[in-house]
Structure 1
Amino acid sequence: MVKLPPPIWALIYVVVTLALSWLLGWPVVPGLPLPVLGIALTFLAWVLPVWAAIRFRRAGTEINPTSPTNRALVVDGPYRVTRNPMYLGLVLTTLGIAIWIGAWPMFLAPVAVFLTANFVHIPFEEAKMRRQFDGAFDDYVRQVRRWV
């Protein structure tokens, strides 16, 4: 599961929940869809991952979580608030899509993205960062929460 990039997992979950919603006849959550709110959240959710990617580029390190080594431990920008702004952005993007569409099966996508990130990708990355950056990473973990 770790070898497949997290955005691909998010896309898979959205496609699967779209198919499930279609098969179930688009069962809408009362009070939804809220297209304007959903679209706004979907696009605003990209601020964190783009900002994080810019910070990685400026630090001269790679975004690919399965790369053998990272050149720098990035702890500024969005990383002052959350250790995982890219994953948070994916969760918020899929939540925005769910609110936009309004069918209850769509809300399984952000849950699946969160669970996959929290229990598969993040532990793998944290173990790698701990090996590479030793005490500096442990200090960072004590200062900044995994999500928010």
Structure 2
Amino acid sequence: MIRRLAGLPQVWLVLFALAGAAAGRLLPFELPPVIRGAGFLLLLAGGALMLWAAAVMRAARTSFMPGQSPDALVTGGPFRFSRNPIYLGDVIALAGLMLALSAPAGLVLVPAFALLLERRFIRHEEKLVAAAIGPAYDRYRARVRRWL
């Protein structure tokens, strides 16, 4: 069960969010309301990006579940500027949450979270897409960056 949970990026997002909130409690620093508001907007933007990307994948009738081989190459919507908009949304949401919670110490975990996503999920998924899609994915990968 733990192995299955560890295979879900959402679980890692929650763990990093909890760790970031704890860091904010250990090293408290009250942010101005405008920064906290901007954090809330980032949190919403990250969530919206994730939903948009999932909707585009669903419309293309391909899986958006981590580790599953895709049925189609999706290059529209947010996939025009990022090969991994759902993971990008996760990172943006985590950064926004740390600001919204007035826990700037937790921001140090954001790059670590991005690195974990890349090494644990993205690299493996890119291999699956390359095997399933072939040269079309190579052309897409050459023109669209992994993150932004």
TM-score surpassing 0.5?
yes
- Residue of structure 1 in register with 2:86 after alignment: 86
Query: Is the contact between residue 10 and residue 109 of structure 1 (CA under 8 Å) also seen in structure 2?
Result: no
- Residue of structure 1 in register with 2:41 after alignment: 40
* Distance in structure 1 (CA, Å) of the matches to 2:123 and 2:66: 11
* Distance in structure 2 (CA, Å) of the matches to 1:104 and 1:37: 13
* Distance in structure 2 (CA, Å) of the matches to 1:80 and 1:21: 35
- Residue of structure 1 in register with 2:105 after alignment: 105
- Residue of structure 1 in register with 2:53 after alignment: 52
One-letter code of the match for 1:125? E
**Deviation, structure 1 residue 20:** 3.3
Deviations 1:71-91 (A, max 9, x none): 111111110111010011000
Percent identical = 30
- Residue of structure 2 in register with 1:12 after alignment: 15
Q: Gaps (5+ residues) in structure 2?
A: none
Query: Is the contact between residue 24 and residue 105 of structure 2 (CA under 8 Å) also seen in structure 1?
Result: yes
TM-score by length of 1: 0.87
Distance 1:130-1:64 versus aligned 2 partners, 3 A rule:
same
Cα RMSD between the aligned structures?
A: 2.0
- Decide which structure has greater helix share: 2
Query: Is the contact between residue 90 and residue 113 of structure 1 (CA under 8 Å) also seen in structure 2?
Result: no
Equivalent pairs, count? 144
Q: Which secondary structure state, in structure 2, belongs to the residue aligned with residue 46 of structure 1?
A: helix
